[in-house]
Amino acid sequence: MPLRQGPRFAMIALWAAIACISACSRGAEQPVMVATASNFLSVAEALERDFEGQSDVAVNLVSGSTGQLYTQITHGAPYDIFLAADQRRPEMLEEAGYAQEGSRFTYAIGRLALWSRDEVGGPDGVDARLRNGDFRALAIANPDLAPYGAAAIEVLEALGLQEALQGQLVRGQNVGQVYALVATGNAEMGFVALSQMMAQGDDLQGDFWEVPSMLYAPIRQDGVLLTGSADNPAAAAFLAYLGSERARRIIARSGYGVEE
């Protein structure tokens, strides 16, 4: 008898599990799918927590590089909102009809920091070390792909160091990889996002210098509502929240600028 009950019990358990899963996914309101550039992910997580605390809409975050997410969106990825690391990709989506016209806005302005893993006596020491060229490798994000990389090149040009440091430059695909190269000691210095430095708090190794904003064009990160979600009230609610004073405070505290 027990031998026969085994499979039948397993079947019942399986049906119960399937019923439960389908009920659960039908019961709650559809969550908002937000695709965010990796550099903004930690801030997006803070925003998600804050937003979910004050509304009954759940947020699902998907992160990746801007180019990767762009490709996914043009191939039918089911995202509602796209928070890019640049302005170019949201603009192209809008032009091609993948994004809702007029929904594009700058949700954050990226700020660049130069990080030295060795302690060099504070921000001025980092600046001095860059000018001396006293290091083996300086990591920057790929300037062809990442706005932070393009900004880093602008900074080097503005300081007249581009030629001198050419042989010492190594490229990560994005600021996340630049961070990893410096953190693992493979590059002594790297141009990262200020937000990455802020996220470390007291655990930060070495020193960083917040690069003066006059040395590079502002890194505007645009967000956009995707066409398929134009009538989704949950997506509209999250977009409205993104522009709210409360969200802007969180964004600013995390090392990004916000539009006046």
Partner 1 sequence: MPDFGAVLLSLQLALVTTLVLLALGIPLAWWLSSTRSKAKPIIEAVTALPLVLPPTVIGFYLLVLFNPEAPIGGLWVSLTGGTLSFSFAGLVIASVVYSLPFMVQPLQTAFESVGRDQREAAAILRASPFDTFRSVVLPQSRRGLLTACILTFAHTIGEFGVVLMVGGNIPERTRVISIAVYEHVENIEYAEAHILSIGLLVFSFVTLLGVYALNGRYRLRVS
Site for partner 1 (CB under 8 A): how many residues? 24
User: Which residue in 134, 91, 108, 95 sits closest to 219, CA to CA?
Assistant: 108
Choose between 144 and 260: whose C-beta lies nearer to partner 1: 144
Q: Work out whether 61 is an interface residue with partner 1 (CB under 8 A).
A: no
Amino acid at 127: D
Smallest gap, in angstroms, from Cβ of residue 75 to partner 1?
11
Other Cβ atoms closer than 10 A to 46:
16
When asked if residue 70 is in the footprint of partner 1 (CB under 8 A), the reply is yes
Q: Which residues, listed in sequence order, are joined to residue 115 by a DSSP beta bridge?
A: 190, 208
Choose which of 104, 111, 129, 171 interacts with partner 1 (CB under 8 A): 171
CB of 170 to partner 1, least distance (A): 4
Contact string 81-100 vs partner 1 (x = CB under 8 A):
-----------x--------
Q: Which of residues 98-137 bind partner 1 (CB under 8 A)?
A: 136-137
The side-by-side arrangement of strands in the sheet containing 207-210 is 169-172, 138-141, 189-193, 112-116, 207-210
Least separation, in Å, of the C-beta of 122 and partner 1?
22
Applying CB under 8 A, does 166 fall inside the site for partner 1?
Answer: no
User: Contacts with partner 1 in 193-222 (CB under 8 A)?
Assistant: none
* Nearest CB to partner 1, comparing residues 22 and 74: 74
The answer to the question of residue 68 lying near partner 1 (CB under 8 A) is yes
Contacts of 89 (CB under 8 A, 6+ apart): 66, 67, 69, 70, 82
CA distance readout (Å), 238 to 56, 227, 235: 11, 15, 5
Q: Which residue's CB is nearer to partner 1, number 4 or number 75?
A: 75
Dihedral-angle region of residue 53 (phi above 0 means left; psi in -120 to 50 means alpha; beta otherwise): alpha
